[in-house]
Homo-oligomer: A and B are copies of this chain.
Amino acid sequence: MEWQDQSADESERIISMKMWDGRFAKPSAKLLEEFNNSLPFDKELIEEDIDGSIAWAKALARIGIYNQTESRKVIKELTAIKNDWQKGHAKLLGSDEDIHMAVERLLVERVGQAGAKLHTGRSRNDQVATDTRLYCMRKINHIKNLVKEVQSALILRAESDKNIIVPGYTHLQQAQPISLAHYWMSCFFCLEREKSRLDHAYEICDIMPLGSGAIAGAGFAIDRKLLAADLGFSRISDNSIDAVASRDFALELLSSLSSLGIHLSRYAEDLIIWSSREFGYIELDDAWSTGSSMMPQKKNPDSLELMRGKAGRFLGNYTRLATTVKGIGLAYYKDLQEDKEPLFDSIKNMDLVLRVFASVLATLTVNSERMAAQLDPLLLATDVADYLTTAGLPFRQAHKVVGSIVGYCVKNKRNLMELSLKELLVFSPLFKKDIQVVFNWQAALRHRDVDGGTSLRSVNAQVKKAKMLLK
């Protein structure tokens, strides 16, 4: 018996959308199809599904399942479907159970029987794992580039705000004076670690499951290493059960995005506070603020608020998939279909957050006069304690002495920077005239000149290193 190619309009006979109904006496319930159907979201994977299918077709050709003509045709038409999709021409049908069946249907419509061979040795289990990994790898690169754009904006800010002094806060109380550039660079280095997380997530994704079949490995002598090279994977999975069961790569990416979102939310919080009338340190550009439906005077930092609020989304998406995966046995369960929506949602929203943040940073106005005006002389208390320590007083005593001076200032509404030597000598005999040198904002910055400190030298070194890291 021989199989001839059949016209495209016979394709439905060749491949029914429910490709598994031979064993079943009854069709699926409509509601179950709605419940099961993943097309509304997994169509996001279409390009990866086509890429995976092209590579698989090549692999099948290598072992003779496809002859040259078939293989060329299949590859050509899969490529054409991808082009159609990118141009918005490819039509997915409500009856397509998922994106994998949709692509196969489109192919069979174009190439007939050769399309019906494509699934040889493959299962949706290894197919979907492959598609999703490819997708994650592409998106991780994209997100990393956006993180770099934020970092570039931070470097620009640091360079232009280098000479601005701002109170450094702990507990939202003024702690020590810092360079504003130093603040921006803290975000830069925080993001370096976020990129490292994304790199690790990439590494975990970069393992090809294709060829693992449903659970036990493909029953055809596929050269998986060649296949991996075709698809841009560095490694192949070592064990087929693990390959189809594992969603750790998705969890890893969701956890990276959760971390990124949480750390961005901290900077959003600061900038929202700095945007308040009471702080008045920065003003968002009109293009990145919004107003109120009721109060004509309002100018709200909505962009930063959403950036902060979405941290819940990123964490929630991780929690969501982690809980789904918890306690389900090996290898594949349909529960795992729940992996895609949180992934897509976190990726899409992080894309927005990062692009918005880069723009907000680039366009905000710093009110350096306001920052200077807000510097509380008591910010120099540590410097006075350090002065006494250098003069030989153990730090604990110095801390106490300065604590008393501070109490004196607060009680008597005196400005620490304007205390006379005579007044100071009441608290400690170690004070000398040169204490005046301490009462100076620039000196306070120069004073913290360790690596990573807020001195100009250190901040310049940070910027230099940052530029190098971005290259």
A437: chain B residues at CB < 8 Å are none
Which residues of B lie under 8 Å from residue A118 when comparing CB positions? 395
Q: Which of B217, B265, B310, B454 contacts A217 (CB 8 A)?
A: B454
Chain B residues within an 8 Å CB radius of A255: 255, 258-259
A283-325 interface with B by 8 A CB criterion:
285-303, 305-306, 308-313, 315-325
Task: Name the B residues within 8 Å of A272 (CB-CB).
Answer: 171-172
Whole-angstrom distance between the alpha carbons of A34 and B395 in the complex? 27
Chain B residue numbers with a CB within 8 Å of A237 are 189, 452
Contact in complex: B1, A35 (CB < 8 Å):
no
**In contact, A117 and B29 (Cβ under 8 angstroms):** no
Give the interface segment out of A87-95, A136-144, A333-341. Answer: A333-341
Closest chain B CB from A437 CB (angstroms): 13
When chains A and B are docked, how far (Å) is the Cα of A430 from the Cα of B3?
A: 12
Q: Is the CB of B113 within 8 A of A382?
A: no
Q: Contact between A312 and B306 (Cβ–Cβ < 8 Å)?
A: no
Whether B400 and A241, one on each chain, are in contact in the complex, defined by CB atoms closer than 8 angstroms, is no
Question: Interface stretch among A46-54, A78-86, A193-201?
Answer: A193-201
> Residues 95-125 of chain A: 1 if any B CB is under 8 Å from the residue's CB, otherwise 0?
0000011000000100001101111111111
How far does the Cβ of A176 sit from chain B's closest Cβ, in whole Å?
Answer: 4
Q: Is the CB of A296 within 8 A of B20?
A: yes
> Are the CB atoms of A329 and B172 closer together than 8 Å?
yes
Determine whether A183 belongs to the interface, using a CB cutoff of 8 Å to chain B.
Answer: yes
**Interface digits, A166-195 against B, CB 8 Å rule (1 contact, 0 not)?**
001111111111100011011111101110
A244 to B182: give the CA distance in the assembly, Å. 13
**Is A263 positioned at the interface, with any CB of B under 8 Å from its CB?**
yes
Q: Give the residue among A108, A259, A407, A452 with the most B Cβ atoms within 10 A.
A: A452
In the complex, which residues 238-283 of chain A have their Cβ closer than 8 Å to any Cβ of chain B? 238-246, 248, 251-252, 255, 258-259, 262-263, 265-270, 272-273, 275-279
Known: A65-B389, A215-B178. A26 touches B287 (CB 8 A): yes
Q: Is B452's CB under 8 angstroms from A212's CB?
A: yes
The list of the 7 closest CB pairs from A to B, nearest first, reads A22-B403, A217-B453, A316-B320, A20-B291, A309-B335, A312-B324, A217-B448
